[in-house]
């Protein structure tokens, strides 16, 4: 196995010029800022972040679809700017949530056509197509026109398109987006099995599903507003919060008290509030367990009943909150991708 990293970036920056701005004062959007990562071969590396964080932009740069503005990036040891053709022979990509494909071709024809671009002999291509379609549960649709497939099945066809060429480095951009729960689970299992089959394979996977990142990835980089905030094994990332206390409280509705009251309590790192029918839930990341007493005192002082209290282990979501100060959902609500 080669010692050259599968992916390497060095202070990679990508700035988009936004149309509509004055020529003398063009608007700019920094999609990636000084991103430096290194992914060794045989690793399943995850990029975790909300929509608009820069995950897809990074994949576009690494797959040679987009030129970097500053910095350098290498895939399989080749420079994305100077040697894109060398990279293209060694990679593939699957983007979730889209229904690309030639609708008038059958599933087999669509896949066969792409295999020819990679120089795979027809017989070998047909063998792989059949095998992979069986694995993803599309075996009985091999001769169906892709226009007759549902969007979920089309996505499975595209997943086969990505894996079929057996790339050295595979880029999966939100591969389970738009899939139902069962199909997403099957795809995750397939991805993990594919990685376990060979030490020569590397995957860079983007997701905003914490569970997906935790289940699949050997290492995860947390990205927000174009910057990599942390990069480590999921367990190591969560260990950063080992000292913190994370509590889930179910209470009676907040009357006579605003949620902001809790933010002002010393030792509360973060808290979220959700109101449901007849009750409310509070999630706290506290500096230490002792802070909980102050929180509970506030509830008692305002005659709010505690219905349930649960302490839980930190998740990647908590790590994200710890780093960004907001949950992914809150970031997404405040920004447009």
Partner 1 sequence: MSRTATVSRLSKRERNVREPLRSFFTAAWLGWQIESNWTDPFLFAVYSIIKPIAGAAILVVMYGIITRGAFESPLFVYIYLGNAFYIYVGSVMNGVSWAVIDDREHYKTLKYIYIAPIHAPFYLVGRGVARFLTATISVLVTITAGMLFLNLQLDLGTVNWPMFLAALALGVILLANMGLMLAGVTLMIAHHVWFIGDAVAGALYLFSGAIFPLEVLPNWLRPVGFAMPLTYWLELLRRALVGQVAESFPTLSHVSNGQLFGILLGLTAIFGIMGIIMFRWCEHQARERGLIDRVTNY
Q: How far is the CB of 203 from partner 1 (least distance, A)?
A: 15
Nearer to partner 1, 127 or 312 (CB): 127
- Angle in degrees, CA 87, 49, 291, rounded to 5: 150
Q: Are 128 and 208 in contact (CB under 8 A)?
A: no
Nearer to partner 1, 143 or 235 (CB): 143
Q: In this chain, which of 105, 177, 280, 306 binds partner 1, going by CB under 8 A? A: 105
Q: How far is the CB of 249 from partner 1 (least distance, A)?
A: 45
Candidate ranges 116-124, 178-186, 242-250, 328-336; the one touching partner 1 (CB under 8 A): 116-124
42 lines the binding site for partner 1 (CB under 8 A):
no
How many Å apart are CA 271 and CA 227, to the nearest integer?
A: 24
Q: In this chain, which of 10, 72, 113, 152 binds partner 1, going by CB under 8 A? A: 113
Q: In this chain, which of 18, 27, 28, 116 binds partner 1, going by CB under 8 A? A: 116
Q: How far is the CB of 104 from partner 1 (least distance, A)?
A: 5
* DSSP label of 63: T
DSSP characters over 230-276: EEE-HHHHHHTTTTSEEEEEEES---S--THHHHTSTTEEEEEEEEE
**CA–centroid distance for 2 within its chain:** 27
How many Å apart are CA 256 and CA 125, to the nearest integer?
A: 68
97 lines the binding site for partner 1 (CB under 8 A):
no
How many Å apart are CA 9 and CA 74, to the nearest integer?
A: 6
Q: In this chain, which of 108, 161, 209, 270 binds partner 1, going by CB under 8 A? A: 161
Q: In this chain, which of 11, 42, 51, 100 binds partner 1, going by CB under 8 A? A: 100
Q: Are 178 and 96 in contact (CB under 8 A)?
A: yes
How many Å apart are CA 129 and CA 108, to the nearest integer?
A: 7
Hey, how many other C-beta atoms are within 10 angstroms of the C-beta on 44? 22
Candidate ranges 59-67, 203-211, 262-270, 323-331; the one touching partner 1 (CB under 8 A): 59-67
Q: How far is the CB of 200 from partner 1 (least distance, A)?
A: 5
306 lines the binding site for partner 1 (CB under 8 A):
no
202 lines the binding site for partner 1 (CB under 8 A):
no
160 lines the binding site for partner 1 (CB under 8 A):
no
Nearer to partner 1, 149 or 282 (CB): 149
Q: How far is the CB of 10 from partner 1 (least distance, A)?
A: 19
For 96, 101, 135, 148, 152, the CA distances from 156, given in Å and listed in that order, are 9, 11, 10, 14, 6
Q: In this chain, which of 83, 166, 225, 232 binds partner 1, going by CB under 8 A? A: 166
Restricting to residues 2-31, which ones interact with partner 1 according to CB under 8 A?
Answer: 16-17
Q: In this chain, which of 64, 206, 207, 224 binds partner 1, going by CB under 8 A? A: 64
302 contact partners, CB below 8 Å, separation of at least 6: 254, 255, 256, 257
260 contact partners, CB below 8 Å, separation of at least 6: none
Candidate ranges 115-123, 216-224, 233-241, 295-303; the one touching partner 1 (CB under 8 A): 115-123
Give the ranges where 165-219 is alpha helix by DSSP (H).
Answer: 181-197, 210-216
73 lines the binding site for partner 1 (CB under 8 A):
no
Q: In this chain, which of 4, 18, 70, 89 binds partner 1, going by CB under 8 A? A: 89
Give the residue among 48, 51, 64 at the shortest CA–CA distance from 7.
Answer: 64
Interface residues with partner 1 (CB under 8 A) are 16-17, 60, 63-67, 85, 88-93, 95, 98-105, 109, 113-114, 116-120, 124, 161, 165-168, 198, 200
């Amino acid at each position: 196995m080669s010692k050259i990293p599968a992916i390497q970036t060095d202070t990679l920056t990508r700035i988009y010029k936004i149309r509509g701005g004055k020529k003398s004062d063009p608007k700019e959007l920094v999609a990636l800022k000084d991103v430096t990562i290194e992914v060794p071969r045989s690793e399943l590396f995850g990029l975790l972040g909300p929509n608009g964080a820069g995950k897809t932009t990074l994949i576009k740069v690494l797959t040679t679809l987009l030129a970097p503005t500053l910095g350098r990036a290498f895939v399989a040891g080749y420079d994305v700017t100077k040697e894109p053709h060398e990279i293209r022979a060694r990679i593939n990509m699957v983007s979730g949530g889209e229904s690309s494909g030639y609708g008038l071709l059958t599933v087999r024809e669509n896949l066969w056509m792409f295999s020819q671009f990679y120089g795979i002999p027809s017989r070998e291509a047909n063998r792989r197509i059949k095998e992979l379609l069986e694995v993803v549960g599309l075996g009985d649709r091999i001769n169906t026109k892709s226009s007759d497939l549902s969007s979920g099945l089309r996505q499975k066809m595209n997943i086969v398109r990505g894996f079929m060429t057996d790339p050295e480095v595979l880029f999966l951009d939100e591969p389970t987006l738009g899939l139902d729960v069962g199909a997403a689970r099957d795809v995750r299992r397939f991805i993990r099995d594919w990685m376990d089959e060979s030490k020569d394979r590397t995957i860079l996977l983007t997701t905003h599903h914490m569970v997906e990142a935790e289940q699949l990835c050997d290492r995860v980089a947390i990205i927000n507003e174009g910057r990599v905030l942390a990069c480590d094994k999921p367990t190591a990332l969560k260990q950063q919060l080992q000292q913190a206390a994370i509590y889930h409280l179910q209470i009676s509705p907040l009357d006579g008290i605003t949620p902001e009251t809790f933010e002002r309590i010393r030792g509360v790192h973060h808290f979220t509030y959700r109101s449901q029918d007849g009750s409310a839930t509070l999630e706290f990341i506290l500096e230490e367990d002792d802070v909980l007493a102050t929180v509970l005192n506030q509830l008692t002082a305002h005659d709010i009943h505690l219905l349930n209290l649960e302490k839980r282990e930190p998740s990647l979501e908590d790590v994200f909150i710890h780093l960004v100060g907001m949950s992914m959902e809150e970031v997404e609500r405040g920004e447009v991708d």
